[in-house]
């Protein structure tokens, strides 16, 4: 039984080492000595971190309700990439309806 656990642990370590840097979901990121967290506004993000290096915009449509009564809900989604240089991590910040919903670390910048 001990041998199976050791083998499983070794395989897990190998898979972690060989996958390299993957996007890592975070609760916050630091910009210019300010903390940006899930729930911060897009205005706060711009004021504290400046313009992103790149970005994209899309709409997300969801249908809510029952068989007889349905509501279509449209959300504005933006993905902003912040690149702080080769000695710091890049971040992808997802903004939904003007609020930070997700922060991902993307590995070192350029």
| Distance (Å, whole) CA 73 – CA 97 | 12
Give me the pLDDT at residue 47, please: 96
What is the structure's pLDDT at 22?
A: 53
For 29-43, give one letter per residue: b (16+ CB within 10 A) or e. bebeeeebeeebebe
Q: Would you give per-residue pLDDT tens digits along the chain (110 residues)?
A: 444 444 444 433 433 333 444 568 889 999 889 999 999 999 999 999 999 999 999 999 999 888 888 899 999 999 999 999 999 999 999 999 999 999 999 999 99
13 pairs with which residues across the strands?
none
What would the DSSP string read from start to end of 64-81? EE-SS-EEEEEEEEEEEE
Residue 6: what pLDDT?
A: 46
């Amino acid at each position: 039984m001990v041998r199976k656990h050791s083998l499983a642990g070794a395989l897990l370590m190998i898979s972690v080492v060989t996958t390299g840097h993957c996007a890592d979901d975070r609760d916050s990121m630091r910009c210019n000595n300010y903390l940006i967290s899930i729930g911060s506004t897009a205005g706060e993000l711009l004021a504290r971190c400046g313009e992103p290096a790149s970005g994209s915009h899309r709409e997300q449509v969801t249908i809510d309700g029952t068989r007889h009564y349905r509501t279509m809900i449209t959300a504005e989604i933006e993905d902003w990439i912040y690149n702080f240089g080769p000695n710091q991590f890049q971040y992808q910040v997802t903004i939904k309806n003007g609020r930070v919903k997700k922060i991902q670390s993307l590995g070192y910048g350029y």
